[in-house]
C-alpha cells in the first residue's frame, strides 16, 4: 500500500516536491508523479491505480490547482475515495483562494507563509497523520477551521472504540487545556481534546462522535469561551445526549448554558485536586463497567447561591445565533438554546426552570424576537404563536399545560406520558406543527421533579407571551 498520494498543479511542482522529500524522511511511502511516473506509463491508469492503493491523499490547494483540470480531477477522485472507502483526505493550502465546501468541513493545513521550524513541525504532523500515529497528548489544536459548518456528506455518527473524557476549550485557554489533558492522562484516565483532531479528519463528525459518547464533558469557562460558537455547539451537543458536564471556571463569569451545573473554580490557575480527579475516575470506572453513573451520584449539587454569577449575553447576539442553528436545520441546538436564552433573561439560569412570577420579567420584545426567528425559519410551522393557536394558555393550570403538550405532540394523548430522554423526545418533533420550542431542560431531568419544573416553565412563558401576541 501507498501511505499518501500527493496531488498538485504543474506550477506547484517545486513546492510539492519539497513536501514529498520531507515526508519521505519520516518514513512515509509516497506517490508523487515526478518520482513515480515512468516513460511509457499511461498516466491516467497509473494515477487511478495509485489513488486506489493509497491510504491517504494530500491535495495541494492553490490558485494554480484551482485552474488545473488534472489537479481538479485528482481532487475529485480523492474526495470520492474519502467518501466511499475512508481514505484520509488532507487539503494543504499554499495560496490565497476560497476553499471548496468539501475542504472546509475537514481538518486542513495552512502552509501559507510557513517556513523554518514551524514548517518542519507541520510536516511532522502530516507524517504522523498519514502513518496513523497517535497524536501527542494535549498537542496543538487545529483552530484553522474548527467546526466550520455542516458535514460535506451524510455519515452515521458511530460509537468510538473507547469512551473518553472530552475537554473543550478555546485558543485563549489552550495552555491550561494542554496541562489538564496531560494531568488526566497521567492519572490513567482516557482523554480526548480538540488537540487530538488530525489533518484530514471531518471535524464536525469526529467532535460529535466523541461528545455523544463522552464519559464526561469538561468545558473550560472564560469570556472567550462564552463568545465561542464552537464551544456553544459542543455544550448543546453534549446536553442533547445527556452527557455529564464538569465545567472549570478559569476567568470571568460562568457560561450561562451550564449555570445549573456544579463547577470547579480554578481562577487561580490550579490543576484539578485529588477529590476532583476521584470524581472523574468514578465516572470512568462505571462507564467502563457498562453501568454509567448519574451525575447526582458523583458530583456535588450546584450551590444555591453560586459565588460567581453566570454571564449575560445581548439579545440581538443570541437571536443571531438561534437563527444560524435553525438555518442549518439543527433543531435540537435551537430548542436547547431557546430554553437557555429565556432562563437567562428571567435570571433563572442557575435553577434551570422558571415560575409564573419569573415569567413576568421576560422582555416581551425578546419573546417576540424568538418567535419571529422560529416562525421565519420554519415557514410559520414552529414558535410560540403557532403553539398558542393549537391550545391557548389563559390561567396557567396543569390541565392547560396538558392540552398544549398533547396538541404540540409532546405527550401521549392517552396517558399524558412524555419520553424521559430528551434526545428521543426531540427526534419525535420532525415536521410536526408547533412542536418547537419545547422549553425542556435536559440538565434538570436527572431530578425527580423535572416534569413539574418543565410544566411551570412552559406555563410561565406562554402566559407572558400573551403580552405581545395581542399587539402583532
Question: For the segment 106-134, what is each residue's pLDDT rounded down to a tens digit?
Answer: 678 888 888 888 899 889 888 988 888 76
- Taking CA atoms, 56 is separated from 99, 131, 204, in Å, by 20, 9, 19
The H-or-E segment that residue 465 falls in is helix 450-469
Mean pLDDT is lowest, of 95-99, 165-169, 232-236, 313-317, for: 313-317
Mean pLDDT is lowest, of 61-70, 101-110, 385-394, for: 101-110
Looking only at the bridges linking them, the beta strands covering 109-110 and 191-193 are unpaired
pTM: 0.78
Alpha-carbon span 176 to 219, nearest angstrom: 12
Residue 132, all three cell numbers: 496513523
Of 68-72, 142-146, 187-191, 297-301, highest mean pLDDT: 187-191
Calculated CA dihedral for residues 251, 253, 257, 262, nearest 10 degrees: 80
- 3-class DSSP assignment, residue 233: helix
Mean pLDDT value across the chain? 86
Residue 47 confidence (pLDDT): 80
For residue 14, the tally of other CB atoms under 10 A from its CB is 9
Task: Quickly state the pLDDT bin for 453 (edges 50, 70, 90).
Answer: very high
φ and ψ at residue 144, rounded to 5 degrees: -60, -30
Residue 179 confidence (pLDDT): 95
Of 46-55, 302-311, 411-420, 435-444, highest mean pLDDT: 435-444
**pLDDT above 70 coverage of the chain, percent:** 86
Question: Are the C-beta atoms of 61 and 92 separated by less than 8 Å?
Answer: yes
Q: Write the DSSP string, 10-57.
A: GGGHHHHHHHHHHHHHTT--EE-HHHH--TT--HHHHHHHHHHTBSEE
| For range 203-232, the mean pLDDT | 92
Is the backbone peptide bond immediately before 99 cis, with ω within 30 degrees of 0?
no
Question: For the segment 21-51, what is each residue's pLDDT rounded down to a tens digit?
Answer: 999 999 999 988 777 655 554 356 678 888 8
User: How far does Cα 255 stand from its chain's mean position?
Assistant: 16
Rounded (5°) CA angle 441-397-336? 15
Residue 35 confidence (pLDDT): 73
Task: Quickly state the pLDDT bin for 176 (edges 50, 70, 90).
Answer: very high
Amino acid at each position: 500500500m501507498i501511505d499518501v498520494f500527493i496531488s498538485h498543479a504543474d506550477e506547484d511542482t517545486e513546492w510539492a516536491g519539497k513536501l514529498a522529500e520531507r515526508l519521505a524522511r519520516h518514513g512515509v511511502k509516497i506517490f508523487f508523479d515526478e518520482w513515480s511516473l515512468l516513460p511509457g506509463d499511461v498516466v491516467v491508469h497509473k494515477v487511478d491505480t495509485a489513488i486506489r492503493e493509497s491510504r491517504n491523499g494530500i491535495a495541494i490547494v492553490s490558485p494554480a490547482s484551482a485552474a488545473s483540470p488534472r489537479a481538479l480531477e485528482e481532487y475529485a477522485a480523492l474526495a470520492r475515495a474519502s467518501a466511499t472507502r475512508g481514505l484520509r483526505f488532507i487539503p494543504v493550502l499554499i495560496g490565497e483562494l476560497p476553499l471548496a465546501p468539501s475542504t472546509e468541513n475537514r481538518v486542513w493545513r495552512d502552509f501559507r507563509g510557513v517556513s523554518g521550524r514551524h514548517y518542519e513541525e507541520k510536516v511532522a504532523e502530516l507524517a504522523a497523520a498519514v502513518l496513523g500515529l497517535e497524536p501527542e497528548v494535549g498537542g496543538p489544536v487545529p483552530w484553522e477551521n474548527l467546526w466550520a459548518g455542516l458535514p460535506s456528506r451524510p455519515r452515521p455518527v458511530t460509537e468510538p472504540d473507547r469512551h473518553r473524557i472530552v475537554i473543550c476549550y478555546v485558543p485563549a485557554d489552550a495552555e491550561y487545556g494542554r496541562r489538564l489533558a496531560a494531568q488526566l492522562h497521567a492519572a490513567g484516565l482516557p482523554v480526548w481534546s480538540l488537540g487530538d483532531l488530525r489533518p484530514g479528519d471531518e471535524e464536525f463528525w469526529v467532535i460529535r462522535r466523541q461528545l455523544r459518547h463522552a464519559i464526561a464533558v469538561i468545558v473550560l469557562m472564560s469570556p472567550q469561551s462564552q463568545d465561542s460558537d464552537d464551544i456553544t455547539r459542543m455544550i448543546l451537543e453534549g446536553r442533547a445526549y445527556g452527557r455529564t458536564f464538569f465545567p472549570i471556571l478559569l476567568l470571568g463569569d460562568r457560561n450561562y448554558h451550564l449555570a445549573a451545573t456544579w463547577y470547579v473554580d480554578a481562577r487561580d490557575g490550579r490543576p484539578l485536586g485529588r477529590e476532583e480527579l476521584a470524581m472523574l475516575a468514578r465516572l470512568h470506572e462505571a462507564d467502563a463497567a457498562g453501568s454509567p453513573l448519574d451525575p447526582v451520584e458523583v458530583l456535588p449539587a450546584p450551590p444555591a447561591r453560586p459565588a460567581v454569577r453566570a454571564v449575560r449575553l445581548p439579545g440581538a447576539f443570541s437571536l443571531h445565533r438561534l437563527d444560524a442553528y435553525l438555518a442549518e436545520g439543527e433543531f435540537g441546538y435551537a430548542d436547547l438554546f431557546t430554553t437557555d436564552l429565556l432562563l437567562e433573561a428571567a435570571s433563572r439560569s442557575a435553577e434551570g426552570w422558571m415560575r409564573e412570577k419569573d415569567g413576568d420579567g421576560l422582555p416581551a420584545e425578546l419573546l417576540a424576537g424568538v418567535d419571529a426567528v422560529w416562525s421565519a425559519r420554519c415557514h410559520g410551522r414552529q414558535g410560540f404563536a403557532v403553539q398558542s393557536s393549537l391550545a391557548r394558555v389563559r390561567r396557567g393550570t396543569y390541565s392547560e399545560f396538558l392540552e398544549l403538550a398533547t396538541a404540540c405532540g409532546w405527550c401521549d394523548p392517552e396517558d399524558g406520558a412524555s419520553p424521559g430522554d430528551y434526545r428521543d423526545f426531540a427526534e419525535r418533533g420532525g415536521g410536526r406543527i408547533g412542536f418547537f420550542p419545547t422549553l425542556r431542560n435536559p440538565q434538570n431531568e436527572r431530578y425527580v421533579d423535572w416534569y413539574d419544573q418543565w410544566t411551570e416553565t412552559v406555563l410561565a412563558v406562554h402566559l407572558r407571551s400573551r403580552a405581545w401576541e395581542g399587539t402583532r
